[in-house]
Structure 1
Amino acid sequence: MSFNIALSGIAAAQKDLNTTANNIANVNTIGFKESRAEFADVYANSIFSNSKTAVGGGVATTQVAQQFHQGSLQLTSNSLDMAISGGGFFVTSSGIGTRDQSFTRAGAFKVDSNNYMVDSAGNFLQGFPVDKDGNSTSVSLTTTQAIKVPDTAGSPIMSSKVGLQMNLNVGESPLDPAAFDPDDADTFNNSTSVTIYDSLGESHIMTSYFIKPENGSYTGESNWVAFYAIDGKPVSLDGAAGQYSVDTTGDGLVDGAPRDAQTAGGWRGSVIKFNDSGTYTGSNPTVLKTLPLGVTGANVLGPGADGSQTVTIDFNNPTQYASPFEVTELTQDGTTVGRLTNVGIGADGLVTASYSNGSTVPLSRVALVRFANEQGLTQVGNTAWKASLDSGPALAGEANSGTFGSIRSSSLEQSNVDLTTELVDLISAQRNFQANSRTLEVNNTLNQTILQIR
């Protein structure tokens, strides 16, 4: 019996040494969780035994238990690196569309040749689907999908509307709109430009020119004329040119026939009206829409583009104050094909992609799971675990909500191994091994003594 007790002690000490060595070996492994060898004494009894004089039968390993306390966070320069600050595990699958899922705290992800986010073993990171506003449409493990980061953003959208908000300086010198020439800066007071797109995603520069017309201001009202050009080519408004009343005598009263916002060459523009407080009161015509931009209209688009494209100009409450010309808003609703410029991951796990066309697209929300008994998880290597009967089923949820931790982008969770503690444990396990070896040696000496009795 004493041999068996000593052997069990040696085996336990060896298990402790192996566990400690494994912890030390993985001190730099991202997402690694240290283990602890747990032991219990062996004690056999029966109804006929005397428990007061019984001796134990040695020691047995009950469990090598994982310790899931938080590891320290290490900052990186890779936006796809993620760390969980708090509870939860990332979800990965061995293939696209498969339910062979494993769970990990190691967030060193990258993009593969097909633009999917994967770990170092090629497992696909799983996320919840989201709508165009970035809200999760489902928070269920069965609906998770492999997260893909497209390198382009959709199809081109041709511009149909331009929004303008600015201040026109009431102190500008009046000019003759009929003499307007976009190549001569002396024939207009101010101008501003915006990039618009045709149906093929080709960019074009749309410029708006503003002229304070001669005799266009009188008691209670001021008028400005606006002309429009695309890539330097004149683009007239669809329909008749805007009109404004005039005060030819300077007595503050309207006394002449209305004049057209039109150049000598027939370039038709619009009229912008302000009251005596400098507040915008409307335009003439009311709807400012260009001619079709194709060959049969303004003829400013290239071959193959949708020639029926028109652009509506929307003045968003411009002002006319005694201050310099200033553009406060300049928008358009078209886009070209965008190339991926950046990937961002929020604390709630929302993955967004930014593209060169200025669009930011929500792609997915990183899925997290938790377990009733984390120590019941089955280790499968590569710093990953699988669910078991002991761990209970995986419960999915969003990061930074409930009991789930937040996600830190450009960070990695380091191993939670305390090297100093492990070195002390190593010494203790070594001493334990030596002591049990000595017990075995003493038992052997006693047996030799008995065998030598004659």
Structure 2
Amino acid sequence: MSLYGTMRTGVSGMNAQANRLSTVADNIANANTTGYKKASTQFSSLILPTTGGSYNSGGVNTDVRYSISAQGTFTYTTSATDLAINGKGFFIVSGTDGQEYMTRAGAFTVMDDGSLQNSSGFKLMGYEYSSTEDPTIVVNGFDGLQEINLASGALNATGSTAGALDVNLPSNEVAGYSKSTSLVAYDSQGNTRLIEFNYVKTGDNAWTVEATYEGTTIAGPEPMTFDAEGKLLTPSPASITTAPQTINGAELSALEISIGGSSQLASPFDVSNGKINGNGASKVTGYEISEDGVVSLKYDNGQLTPKFRIAMASVQSPDNLKPLPGNIYAQSNDSGVVVMGYAGTNGYGAIVSGALEDSNVDIAEELTSMIESQRNYTANSKVFQTGSELMEVLVNLKR
């Protein structure tokens, strides 16, 4: 047996336990870090060939592994922009270097510039929302992503385009009888515009309807004909469309007003349904993020306006991703290529708004590992110390 080999093996064991203690220290330090995935040290033996009946002590190698695919528990919060992923996938964030990374740390906050940044300063990325189709995803890369920015939604006004006005016209009135009602519409700048509708009886079961704005006709007069039961006959228009107007620099769009539910019965004039879309200038009061990652602005008038769709990413071997400072991950040679998608589709998990994913560190397990490492380190130091003492005896024999 080589005394030098004994000492080398002791040093190898001490280095291995030092590596284990380093991962334990990191795990304990990050036990409360949102989205943190614990590291662990794996050991493998290093055996040297035995020659001439003489044993050559080898040593031990270590390899650090990360439990990135192991999901942590959830802590629920009152902030809609605190996000967690229930299942597979990663948020895509952008750093100050302009590069995209993956993370499970979803403690996002709306900054002064409208961006959503997590506690490490990385900005959430996604796609602009479309109500007609999902954005085309570059499956194997981050191309096409944009920063999710909510600054443009500070104030919102939506011009009116359509509505409904269903009334009952009194059948027992004589020809020439007229009655008016009105609807409030919104122009492109959120100003209210009063549209007046005037009904005139022209004969038995026959009426006209005319729409005016400030005394100027913008639709009609349109004839309305009813059957013997007081229902609007099919040849009569089911809706009337007003002409578009430019008012003090703002645009009042053409309005398609449905009148198909109107009736003519022996009852006083009455409005059974009167509504119009659009809204005046309204401030953002909050945000709402759905399970499929649609980010909507919530206005003080109760309206929800979808703005963005959060993108998600994954790889074939998440545990082999490359961890980087800031609790983020980058693709490595062993992780596989990045695959993009949306929450709730193709195996990706659902986004939980108002929640954060806890670290998957078990403190009790880490303390046990720390005690084991301490004892093993001490034992390996005894091996080195014994070899050193025997080496000193051997040197003294020559004297």
The 2-side partners of 1:5 and 1:11 are apart by: 10
The 1-side partners of 2:364 and 2:267 are apart by: 70
Alpha-carbon contact 1:177-1:225 (below 8 Å) kept: no
Alpha-carbon contact 2:86-2:352 (below 8 Å) kept: yes
- Give the gaps of 5 or more residues in structure 1: 181-187, 242-269, 295-300
Residue-by-residue CA offset, 1:226-270 (whole Å, 9 max, x unaligned)? 67676xx6565666x6xxxxxxxxxxxxxxxxxxxxxxxxxxxx7
Q: Report what 1:92 is aligned to.
A: 93
Residue 9 of structure 2 corresponds to residue 5 of structure 1: yes
Paired AA for residue 226 in structure 2: F
Structure 1 position 339, deviation (Å): 3.5
- Of 279, 288, 309, 1:344 maps to 288
Paired AA for residue 441 in structure 1: Q
Paired AA for residue 374 in structure 1: P
Structure 1 position 138, deviation (Å): 2.8
The 2-side partners of 1:102 and 1:330 are apart by: 47
Residue 349 of structure 2 corresponds to residue 410 of structure 1: no
How high is the TM-score relative to the length of structure 1?
A: 0.72
Do the aligned partners of residues 225 and 395 (structure 1) sit closer, same or farther apart at CA in structure 2, a change above 3 Å counting? closer
Residue-by-residue CA offset, 1:387-440 (whole Å, 9 max, x unaligned)? 122223212222222232222122111100111211211221122122223333
Do the aligned partners of residues 323 and 434 (structure 1) sit closer, same or farther apart at CA in structure 2, a change above 3 Å counting? farther
Alpha-carbon contact 2:211-2:219 (below 8 Å) kept: no
The 2-side partners of 1:80 and 1:286 are apart by: 44
- Give the gaps of 5 or more residues in structure 2: none
- Of 10, 14, 19, 2:23 maps to 19
The 1-side partners of 2:18 and 2:91 are apart by: 33
Residue-by-residue CA offset, 1:17-69 (whole Å, 9 max, x unaligned)? 121121111110001000111111121127x565xx635322222x1110120
Q: Give secondary structure in 2 for the equivalent of 1:281.
A: coil
Which of the two has higher C-alpha Rg? 1
Do the aligned partners of residues 443 and 58 (structure 1) sit closer, same or farther apart at CA in structure 2, a change above 3 Å counting? same
Moved more, 273-282 or 363-372: 273-282
- Of 426, 440, 444, 2:370 maps to 426
Do the aligned partners of residues 280 and 443 (structure 1) sit closer, same or farther apart at CA in structure 2, a change above 3 Å counting? same
Number of residues of Structure 1 aligned to a counterpart in Structure 2: 390
Paired AA for residue 318 in structure 1: S
Structure 1 position 329, deviation (Å): 5.3
Q: Report what 1:185 is aligned to.
A: none
Structure 1 position 12, deviation (Å): 1.6
Moved more, 71-80 or 142-151: 142-151
Q: Report what 1:65 is aligned to.
A: 65
Q: Which has the higher strand share?
A: 2
Alpha-carbon contact 1:153-1:337 (below 8 Å) kept: no
The 2-side partners of 1:376 and 1:287 are apart by: 62
The 1-side partners of 2:24 and 2:6 are apart by: 27
Q: Report what 2:117 is aligned to.
A: 118
Residue 141 of structure 2 corresponds to residue 197 of structure 1: no
Do the aligned partners of residues 205 and 75 (structure 1) sit closer, same or farther apart at CA in structure 2, a change above 3 Å counting? farther
How high is the TM-score relative to the length of structure 2?
A: 0.80
Percent identity between the two aligned chains = 28
1:260-299 paired onto structure 2 within 5 Å: 272-281=224-233, 288=240
Q: Give secondary structure in 1 for the equivalent of 2:233.
A: strand
Alpha-carbon contact 1:131-1:137 (below 8 Å) kept: no
The 2-side partners of 1:367 and 1:309 are apart by: 35
Q: Report what 2:272 is aligned to.
A: 327
Do the aligned partners of residues 12 and 312 (structure 1) sit closer, same or farther apart at CA in structure 2, a change above 3 Å counting? closer
Q: Report what 1:142 is aligned to.
A: 143
Paired AA for residue 294 in structure 2: L
1:310-321 paired onto structure 2 within 5 Å: 313-320=257-264
The 2-side partners of 1:151 and 1:293 are apart by: 27
The 1-side partners of 2:373 and 2:327 are apart by: 25
Alpha-carbon contact 1:155-1:337 (below 8 Å) kept: yes
